[in-house]
Amino acid sequence: TLQHLFKQIFKASLELMGEDEQKALLVSRKKHPDNTVVDVKGEHIGDGQQRLIAGPCSVESEEQVFTVAEALKNRGVNLLRGGAYKPRSSPYDFQGLGVEGLKILKKAGERFDMAVISEIVTPGDVEAADEYLDVIQIGARNMQNFELLKEVGATDKPVLLKRGLSATLSEFMNAAEYVMSRGNTNLMLCERGIRTYETATRNTLDISAVPILKQETHLPVLADVTHSTGRRDLLLPAAKAALAIGADAVMSEVHPDPAVALSDSAQQMDIEQFDNFINTLRAENLLKDGVEETARI
Amino acid sequence: TLQHLFKQIFKASLELMGEDEQKALLVSRKKHPDNTVVDVKGEHIGDGQQRLIAGPCSVESEEQVFTVAEALKNRGVNLLRGGAYKPRSSPYDFQGLGVEGLKILKKAGERFDMAVISEIVTPGDVEAADEYLDVIQIGARNMQNFELLKEVGATDKPVLLKRGLSATLSEFMNAAEYVMSRGNTNLMLCERGIRTYETATRNTLDISAVPILKQETHLPVLADVTHSTGRRDLLLPAAKAALAIGADAVMSEVHPDPAVALSDSAQQMDIEQFDNFINTLRAENLLKDGVEETARI
Amino acid sequence: TLQHLFKQIFKASLELMGEDEQKALLVSRKKHPDNTVVDVKGEHIGDGQQRLIAGPCSVESEEQVFTVAEALKNRGVNLLRGGAYKPRSSPYDFQGLGVEGLKILKKAGERFDMAVISEIVTPGDVEAADEYLDVIQIGARNMQNFELLKEVGATDKPVLLKRGLSATLSEFMNAAEYVMSRGNTNLMLCERGIRTYETATRNTLDISAVPILKQETHLPVLADVTHSTGRRDLLLPAAKAALAIGADAVMSEVHPDPAVALSDSAQQMDIEQFDNFINTLRAENLLKDGVEETARI
Amino acid sequence: TLQHLFKQIFKASLELMGEDEQKALLVSRKKHPDNTVVDVKGEHIGDGQQRLIAGPCSVESEEQVFTVAEALKNRGVNLLRGGAYKPRSSPYDFQGLGVEGLKILKKAGERFDMAVISEIVTPGDVEAADEYLDVIQIGARNMQNFELLKEVGATDKPVLLKRGLSATLSEFMNAAEYVMSRGNTNLMLCERGIRTYETATRNTLDISAVPILKQETHLPVLADVTHSTGRRDLLLPAAKAALAIGADAVMSEVHPDPAVALSDSAQQMDIEQFDNFINTLRAENLLKDGVEETARI
């Protein structure tokens, strides 16, 4: 068993090197103790204030997007999301408007002075995304689409990387490293629920992921309350928890008329519901967005 | 396919009856719209105020328990927990002091005017528990120990029922129904983390369970931040999230000297850490416990 | 970092002791290299031959049990199972006939010269089980009902321990250790599916558990194809896999008329289906039960 | 509640349409009752015979690949796999030889008259894959990389699609539909283990997926015993189970010297171990590959 002890020492040394390597990740806070702040058209995500990101699941028309954008802007929300390329389980479901969707978003961003965020799904989309978007989102299904990560890593466009459906936090941080190792430091992480046995919610919001990622990395950490819960009635409670635990921003979906939405109608808020959502978060002092009491209408 | 449609109608009728049955559960809010408030030695759990429940993982000695109890009481915490019967994965791990532990808890409860909570693991323990405890806890491993549930259901002692390690919320509510169907309405539910693939935390705190259980049942809903995270550094963030999302109480473990604890040393706070824990929750107005600013020392 | 290396060495030593402890488990093959063979009324489970265990989900009546028993016996199956105490998610579902069910089983065992197996759920049942049964089954929900494990461990009755719904193999072996550490070495382990995100099957049959448990322990290892799949159409394929991978026995449920069964009607075979099941397994030489070609009718 | 009943009827109708849609999938057996047989350079996968697919985790050099290829060919194995584009969790791990790897495989295929299989990870690789490979593999991480699926669906090259790490069988079949809806019917499905809480194995081999996929689709179904178990000692038992349950082929990894492999050294067999693997499967009549007793050397 002396031999065995030596083997163990050897293994310990290996693990030690493993830890050192982990420390050496560019995304690691050990490498970079200060918070990274990502400037998205003047919004400094990660600066200590908390923000909402909202918008329709899918971009369906200019009118639809403008209606939501105006409503958000009027409530002091400057970050607009909308899906143009929709990764759908079935090839026969609505697949999004594609580049036309990106153009609508850009127009909305210009008209209402908002930053626009949308997902792309393949390296071929990066050029268009770079032209039309303020933030490129990489969705859960593509968290380990490494060629896509490398491509967006080669731009300097802000990137919002979502956690994979069953990714460990270690895999998530390594996926982020793919982006950062190519030079792009404008990176944000987003917890969006993990797949578990529980079916009462679409996924299980892993709320502990937020403080762990804040601790282990220097990047802004967001929470997507729509995809994690999949239930309109849980958006507000989940947002409260995410803000209280320290998320830099909370994402949710807002549609002028969810009942006729082309995707995910059960989990989007209409504008009145969003009013209640944001007003409650501000009234309970959970959304620390620095918006003055008087400026909130 | 007309035949098929009729089959579907038949199935729909069956489901309809299933829903009606679910509605008919005694624990269901549809059956009983008002919140149940459980009176635990004068603490009215579920009354809208939020509370902390704290204490050592295991009862180890009178001195240990009294030290913690006094510290808690001085900070306005009136609910003391401690393990006397410890269900441990290995038969060779410390199994708890048993009935001696219950007696120490009772003594502490009398000395410091606190309510005491402890887990029992088999029907044979109910009598002693009824004598020495203010709240009987049923742990995650025993959530479907139906004979035990029926036994505690036949008393009128407050019961704290923890969610099983991989129980669905539906199974959890049905387990609660086992207690309530025997007549005991002094029942509280506790989310304590579920087993998932993620290993960064001991379990995954299913924070959405809190609002779902509040919505579906009329019972007080608690969150155990110790067993759900298994990490001392996550107790405070998890407690913030649980309180913000509306938990009626938060459970955590406090030990005078965690390093020498006979169980779970990595996840217990010492008294100084607990001070920081409770002070932060109060300072950030997350713990709505009605304790006056001036009375908090 | 020299300090860090020493810490690592210390940790390695701890792990080393952990491994030694694991080795020291009474259930471990390192402790006892030869296969344990459990004698169940003349059937030597673990002797290298493979067996089927079958019978109704619930004992409903003498007639029902006798019908199944006779059919099994005629096909060379000597191990009869049936549920008398049924742990059910809802308190309003059929809970089994209790001790009356045990008596029916005993009668069937005597009449047809078969060994009878049934589950008990609480320490108070052990005495009756010892009187009426040839094998005491501990079900998945009670795998960590440690008081029950200790009680059956104090008898010398053969015990069939099922893996918990979300138990790791390490926890499963430690649960077995609770039985064996009390002196009862007549112990068999049974894989019965684990809870995962997949809903196409009731649970996910963890087929790799069979060779791992055979390797790590010296105990007979069984597979329950009924509860792992929850689908009648998968019983035969799952049994093929379990036998090919080396299970000592396969459990399945057989009912004279599954459509009217008081529990789990969707996953029980009728007698004709069982005929096809056993005949196929024998015809394909997957069931190595030593029954002569000529004796198989 | 009459209103409620009508709602239910409406929902039932919706579900009915959902089922019809599922039936209408091109991959569905309801649409196409006969087995699809995929011709891979003369090997007719899905024809009722069972095959082995083997080769190194990563293509490292011509010598390495040729050594394995020759050994396989000599044992009657005609399907050679090897990784050229390696999707690795960390950007700092070996990423594969890329197109150089594909060329080495092609050369090996020509030299030893074997079909070669390799994974590609992004639409840009399809052209090279089409030139150098006999089968394009889409790995677990890319099961929902829909642009990649569409690209390979637009070729007529045989495609081997692996199940995602936490994909449901329904999602898996819909991913296959992405390929087939573009016209490519040369499609094979591969179960490769799912992510669960269990850590004794790298993933959990969902053995029931094999008969379910055979039943629901008309496509050949394979099982990858290497990635599902992640343990060399489980390759043989897992292969036995997969063949007994009806897999059309079993994939495993073979390396001339696993200890120095650039990836996954713990789960590859050396050539002697592979000899034992294939000889045991044949000796026990589990591998029904139609290779004559005399031709097996």
- Contact flag A208-B205 (C-beta cutoff 8 Å): yes
* Chain B closest-CA separation from residue A194 CA (Å): 9
Residue D57 DSSP code? S
Query: In terms of domains, do A26 and A55 share one?
Result: no
Query: In terms of domains, do A256 and A200 share one?
Result: yes
By CA distance, what is D11's nearest residue in B?
B12
Query: In terms of domains, do A12 and A116 share one?
Result: no
Q: Which pLDDT score is estimated for C218?
A: 98
D23 near B CB under 8 A = no
- Contact flag B144-C89 (C-beta cutoff 8 Å): yes
Element (H, E) at B111: helix B99-112
Element (H, E) at C142: none
- Residue A114 tokens read as 């908002």
Per DSSP (E only), the strands in chain D are 38-40, 43-45, 51-55, 79-81, 115-119, 135-138, 159-162, 187-191, 221-224, 249-253
Q: Does the pLDDT at position B20 exceed 90?
A: no
- Contact flag C4-A15 (C-beta cutoff 8 Å): no
CA distance D268 to D273: 9
Q: Does the pLDDT at position C16 exceed 80?
A: no
The model's pLDDT over B42-93, given as tens digits with 9 standing for 90+, comes to 999 999 999 999 999 999 999 999 999 999 999 999 999 999 999 999 999 9
A92 near C CB under 8 A = no
Specify the CATH number for the domain of residue C134.
3.20.20.70
- Residue A224 tokens read as 């997507």
Query: In terms of domains, do C76 and C8 share one?
Result: no
By CA distance, what is D4's nearest residue in B?
B16
Q: How far is CA B8 from CA B242, C258, D11, D18, in A?
A: 41, 21, 9, 12
- Contact flag C208-D210 (C-beta cutoff 8 Å): no
The model's pLDDT over C250-283, given as tens digits with 9 standing for 90+, comes to 999 999 999 989 888 889 999 999 999 999 999 9
Contact A215, A29 (CB under 8 A): yes
CA distance B120 to B135: 10
Q: Which pLDDT score is estimated for D290?
A: 84
| Average of per-residue pLDDT across B241-251 | 98
Count other C-beta atoms under 10 Å from residue B226's C-beta.
Answer: 28
D166 CB neighbours in chain C (<8 A) are 197
Per DSSP (E only), the strands in chain C are 38-40, 43-45, 51-55, 79-81, 115-119, 135-138, 159-162, 187-191, 221-224, 249-253
The model's pLDDT over D191-248, given as tens digits with 9 standing for 90+, comes to 999 999 999 999 999 999 999 999 999 999 999 999 999 999 999 999 999 999 999 9
CA distance A261 to D179: 27
Instruction: With H, G, I as helix, E, B as strand and everything else as coil, classify residue B249.
Output: strand
Query: In terms of domains, do D170 and D151 share one?
Result: yes
* Chain B closest-CA separation from residue D231 CA (Å): 18
Q: Which pLDDT score is estimated for D15?
A: 59
Q: Which pLDDT score is estimated for C277?
A: 98
B187 Cβ contact partners less than 8 Å away, ≥ 6 residues apart: B27, B36, B38, B158, B159, B161, B176, B179, B180, B219
Query: In terms of domains, do B15 and B79 share one?
Result: no
Q: Determine whether D34 is exposed, middle or buried from the number of CB atoms within 10 Å of its CB (0-12, 13-18, 19+).
A: exposed
Nearest CB to A89: which of D87, D89, D174? Answer: D174
Query: In terms of domains, do B156 and B191 share one?
Result: yes
Higher per-residue pLDDT: B265 or D97? D97
Q: How far is CA A22 from CA A162, B168, C145, C187, in A?
A: 20, 35, 40, 44
Preferred mutation among B19, B90, B170 to probe C, highest tally of C CBs within 10 A: B90
């790897």: which residue's tokens?
Answer: D101
Q: Which pLDDT score is estimated for B179?
A: 98
Q: Does the pLDDT at position C176 exceed 70?
A: yes
Contact B207, A205 (CB under 8 A): yes
By CA distance, what is B170's nearest residue in A?
A200
- Contact flag A8-C12 (C-beta cutoff 8 Å): yes
Domain span including residue C115:
36-296
Report the DSSP beta bridge partners of residue D53: D79, D251
What confidence category does residue C59 fall into, taking pLDDT thresholds of 50, 70 and 90? very high
B5 CB neighbours in chain D (<8 A) are 12-13, 16
Query: In terms of domains, do A113 and A178 share one?
Result: yes
C294 near A CB under 8 A = no
Q: Which pLDDT score is estimated for D293?
A: 62
Domain total for chain A?
A: 2
What confidence category does residue B263 fall into, taking pLDDT thresholds of 50, 70 and 90? confident
CA distance C56 to C70: 13
Q: Sign of torsion, CA B235 B237 B239 B245? A: negative
D267 Cβ contact partners less than 8 Å away, ≥ 6 residues apart: D57, D202, D226, D227, D229, D230, D231, D232, D235, D253
Preferred mutation among D191, D196, D207 to probe C, highest tally of C CBs within 10 A: D207
* Chain B closest-CA separation from residue A159 CA (Å): 24
Query: In terms of domains, do C17 and C160 share one?
Result: no
Nearest to D281 by CA among C204, B118, C245, C2: C245
| Average of per-residue pLDDT across B182-191 | 98
Q: Does the pLDDT at position C8 exceed 90?
A: no
Contact C191, C210 (CB under 8 A): yes
- Contact flag D208-C234 (C-beta cutoff 8 Å): yes
Q: Which pLDDT score is estimated for D294?
A: 55
Q: Which pLDDT score is estimated for B24?
A: 85
* Chain C closest-CA separation from residue D55 CA (Å): 22
What confidence category does residue B14 fall into, taking pLDDT thresholds of 50, 70 and 90? low
A150-A153-A155-A157 Cα dihedral, nearest 10 degrees: 130
A12 near C CB under 8 A = yes
Contact D146, A87 (CB under 8 A): yes
Nearest CB to A12: which of C12, C166, C195? Answer: C12
C31 near A CB under 8 A = no
Per-residue pLDDT 10s for chain D (297 aa) are 566 566 566 556 655 555 556 558 999 999 899 999 999 999 999 999 999 999 999 999 999 999 999 999 999 999 999 999 999 999 999 999 999 999 999 999 999 999 999 999 999 999 999 999 999 999 999 999 999 999 999 999 999 999 999 999 999 999 999 999 999 999 999 999 999 999 999 999 999 999 999 999 999 999 999 999 999 999 999 999 999 999 999 999 999 999 989 888 889 999 999 999 999 999 999 999 987 665 665
By CA distance, what is D288's nearest residue in C?
C284
- Contact flag D205-C210 (C-beta cutoff 8 Å): no
Q: Which pLDDT score is estimated for C23?
A: 59
Residue ranges in chain A modelled with pLDDT below 50:
none
Query: In terms of domains, do A10 and A128 share one?
Result: no
B23 near D CB under 8 A = no
The model's pLDDT over B23-37, given as tens digits with 9 standing for 90+, comes to 589 999 998 999 999
Q: Which pLDDT score is estimated for B277?
A: 98
Query: In terms of domains, do A16 and A141 share one?
Result: no
A240 near B CB under 8 A = yes
Query: In terms of domains, do B121 and B193 share one?
Result: yes
